[in-house]
Chain A
Amino acid sequence: MAQVAQPVATTFFFYMLSGIAILSGVLVITRKNPVHSALALILTLLCVAGLYLMLYAPFVAGVQIILYVGGIMVLFLFVIMLVNIEQAEKQKQFNQQWLAGILAALALGALLVLIYVKGKAAFAFPPPPMPEADNTQRVGQLLYSNYMFPFEIASLLLLVAIIGAVVMAKKRI
């Protein structure tokens, strides 16, 4: 008898991924060595990709890994490797504006609590029946039908950024 696969240990994986994401997020700002910070950031991004998978968004998870971890973070590391790290380690890591920082954190916390309390009504979506089976196809169809214009605008913006980067980096073209 063929059965449909059921998710295994969902709660456990959710708490594990979120825990690692938060822990490595803290490591990003507390490590003195920028390479270690970048590696911790990679771990955070991978955990977030795992959380996307748990939200039945495999396409977003795959793109997160390809773009952020495989592309952007490699370039980050590429640049950091060329920085003089010993000098960077001597510099001051935190500034003294702890009052403003606490206020901002409190404001964000209050916002999150508000969403948590009020959000159940605002974001009430029914659980999708067998969602991940054609998630990618749905994303593609929406991007090329309803959201064609924003999609093209975004790609034009990226093209402008590419040309701008080439113009600024190359003296003689």
Chain B
Amino acid sequence: MPGFITNYLDKTVQMTPGQYGSPFWALVYILVVFGGVSLAVVCMNWLERKILAHMQVRLGPMRVGPHGLLQPIADALKLILKEDIVPEGADSFVFLLAPVIILLAVFSVYCVIPFGPTHAITDMNIGILFMLGVSSLGVLGIVMAGWASNSHYPLIGALRSSAQMVSYEIAMGLAVVSAVLMTSLNDSGTGTLSMIDIVKAQNAQHVWFVFKFFPLGLIAFFIFAVAMVAETNRAPFDLPEAESELTAGFHTEYSGLRWSLFMLGEYAAMIAVSSIAITLWLGGWMRPFPNALGGPNWDLAFSLFPALTFFGLAAMTFYSTMRMPKHAYFRIQTIGLGAFGALFALIGLILLVPPVRDRVQDVYWFIAKIAVFLYLYIWYRGTFPRYRFDQLMKVGWKVLLPMGIGVLMLTGIVGLRTEIWDFLQRLVHV
């Protein structure tokens, strides 16, 4: 095999392909991440419809495939086959460019997301700055889409969206800074902006930053968790696409494939901001209790989780297979569902093999944490009523921003408490 393939597979390489300077493996990682995120978006689409339906005591999609499992595929087919309409009077160049900009901005963020200590496309010195900066480019796409449609609802949606995203970015940035400040509590006294090093700092300090300086870390995390819902234009902050007021907001005039690009961008952005929150506050790829429940036995127990998850999924699928109607009309669906369960069980078995088990652990915990966040997103949508726009602005500027500044200052003070105490004592003794 050529050297550029084999040299990165060396066991001693403890770097991301970007750091190692291996374009081939960087490309492989990019394709894997792109495919994985797209698959996650498809799953998320189905799960959101099902979970929302069950929250509202409905069944949700049931017709296409068993329990509507093939609904996302049917939807995607429909969207691809639909006519791609550019309205008359629209600025066609900007109109066609806008969804592409959103997708580019969102997927560029995935360059620095650390799914594991070496499982990232690259690690940058400015990781978190890069993520915030590039994800703020998404608002450009929304503004362009709203303006280029040459129509009232999209324009109002785009104006709302840009005002909302610019204001919540500030609170978000302050919360992030207070987490970055916590990384500087080491011997050298300098923090880091690199995503991988932020998680390593949490490992070195033996605490997830959400529990650090309780309750300061928790408040910063709360600010970020609210701001990130607003940043991704999701309920209860989905004013830019409030369907009762603006039909569909900034993407009212889009149809077919371009509309689905907006949806893909929205869900991918949700995964991206969730992974920022996980990296900064929830210990990134680390498993729960790496220190309290340490030792080889616990390591082994926790490394079985990925396989157990897939066995659980397989068991659920087999149970549903048994409960399928026994009519001949459903025979193909039943066989398909059984095969799906068998696939899950097979993946679970593969995850039991020791080399795979050890490699996959980090990625598994990261993705499990993302899944919790995505469920929260759906839960918010099912339970919270939508804010009014002035309330939204009030929350952003008059609640989250002062809270963010306060937490930042308190974090600094608590982090320097010994130095401040020494300084005060010297003042008294002089």
Contacts and interface: CB of A to CB of B under 8 A. Distances in A.
Interface of A: 1-6, 8, 33, 35-36, 39, 42, 58-59, 61-63, 65-66, 69-71, 73-75, 77-78, 81-82, 132-137, 140-141
Contact of B134 (A35, A65, A135): A65
Contacts of A33: 91
B56 interface: no
Nearest to A80: B147
Nearest to B21: A5
Given A35-B94, A39-B94, A70 B169 contact: yes
21 contacts: A2-B12, A2-B13, A3-B21, A5-B19, A35-B144, A36-B94, A58-B125, A61-B126, A62-B129, A62-B130, A70-B133, A70-B136, A74-B139, A74-B140, A74-B143, A77-B143, A78-B159, A81-B155, A81-B158, A137-B190, A141-B190
Interface centre among B126, B130, B144, B159 (most CB of A within 10 A): B126
A136 to B, nearest CB: 6
B309 interface: no
Interface residues of B, number: 42
Interface in B180-233: 190-193
Contacts of B162: 74, 77-78
B21 A59 contact: no
Given A36-B94, A69-B137, A77-B162, A59 B129 contact: yes
A65 B18 contact: no
B147 A5 contact: no
A69 B143 contact: no
B166 interface: yes
B387 interface: no
B151 to A, nearest CB: 13
Given A39-B94, A140-B190, A5 B129 contact: no
B10 A1 contact: yes
Interface in B91-133: 91, 93-94, 124-126, 129-130, 132-133
Given A81-B159, A135-B125, 13 more contacts: A6-B21, A36-B93, A58-B125, A61-B126, A62-B126, A71-B166, A74-B139, A74-B140, A77-B144, A82-B159, A136-B129, A137-B192, A141-B190
Contacts of A65: 130, 133-134, 136-137
A63 B15 CA distance: 26
Contacts of B134: 65
B20 interface: yes
A136 B125 contact: yes
Given A5-B21, A8-B21, A70 B139 contact: yes
Given A70-B133, A136-B125, A5 B140 contact: no
Contacts of B146: 81
Contacts of B169: 70-71
Contacts of A75: 166
B368 to A, nearest CB: 30
A133 B18 contact: no
Contacts of B159: 78, 81-82
A66 B136 contact: yes
